[in-house]
Amino acid sequence: MLDSKELISYTKELSIMFVEDHDDLRESTKEILKNFFHTVEAAHDGQEAIEKYKEIFAQTGRYYDIIISDIRMPRMNGVEFTKHIYSINPDQIIIILSAHDESVYLLELINLGIEQFLKKPIDYQELLRVLLNTSRKIQKQSNIHHEPPTTLVKLSNNMVYDRSTTSLTQDGENVYLTKYEIIFMQLLTSHIGKIFSNDDIVHAFVQNSEVLDAQNIRKLVSKLRKKIPEKSVESIYGIGYKFIAHPEL
């Protein structure tokens, strides 16, 4: 049986969308996926999925890491949906669910570059195994292209945050940061431009043996903005916060 802890180690930061017109199957699978992925979305058919696909990019600047889609759906089938997604993002990873009588579609989908096929009805152990292999691939590709984070983060022409010493300086003079502000700054500057949800922020404080109520995050942001350029921390309504750095040093 698949080791769920290993799967979570690869998927906990990833997002996934499940496209399926059968209501019960869609909702039950969505609930299973929530145990492993950071963000899980579901859509009834290809047309709704495309709308949600564009929506998440508009909100976060990122597409879903993985898409799982049925072939036979109303309004737009899986082949048409796949073509449309690849026209938007050629690098998108798509896993297709197919029944035994749908082989007529498979060759076309193979030529399009589908990541994997899974047979219906869904064998959830097999699904999780495929997701583990796919998530490993995503992490490997991410590590290849990942550049080590810089120690110094420039906030303005005269203000710099040093992640190695957790110090904030303006014109060479130290700007005092509280322990909570340092934890928050370390999180936000760990991935410049990444949106951190309230849950991410609360978890970061737990990892640092501190407690921060989600309701107090806004107060923390407000106090921090008085010490740094206000636009350095951007609020994404209903989603979370991200850090915007000044042009690189």
Residue 75: left if φ>0, alpha if ψ -120 to 50, beta else—which one?
left
- pTM of the complete model: 0.57
Any domain includes 81:
yes
Any domain includes 248:
no
Domain that holds residue 236: 152-243
Grade residue 143 by pLDDT with cuts at 50, 70 and 90.
Answer: low
- CA 216 to CA 154: how far, in whole Å? 26
Average pLDDT of the segment spanning 45-60:
90
In sequence order, the β-bridge partners of residue 170 are 159, 173
Q: Is the pLDDT of residue 66 over 50?
A: yes
* CATH number for the domain that contains residue 172: 1.10.10.10
Question: Which of 106-120, 143-157, 171-185, 210-224 shows the lowest mean pLDDT across its residues?
Answer: 143-157
Residue with tokens 């404080």: 205
Domain boundary among 130, 145, 160: 145
Q: How many CA atoms lie within 13 A of 66 on its CB side?
A: 31
pLDDT computed for residue 67 by the predictor: 95
Same domain, 16 and 104: yes
Tell which wins on pLDDT, 142 or 153.
153
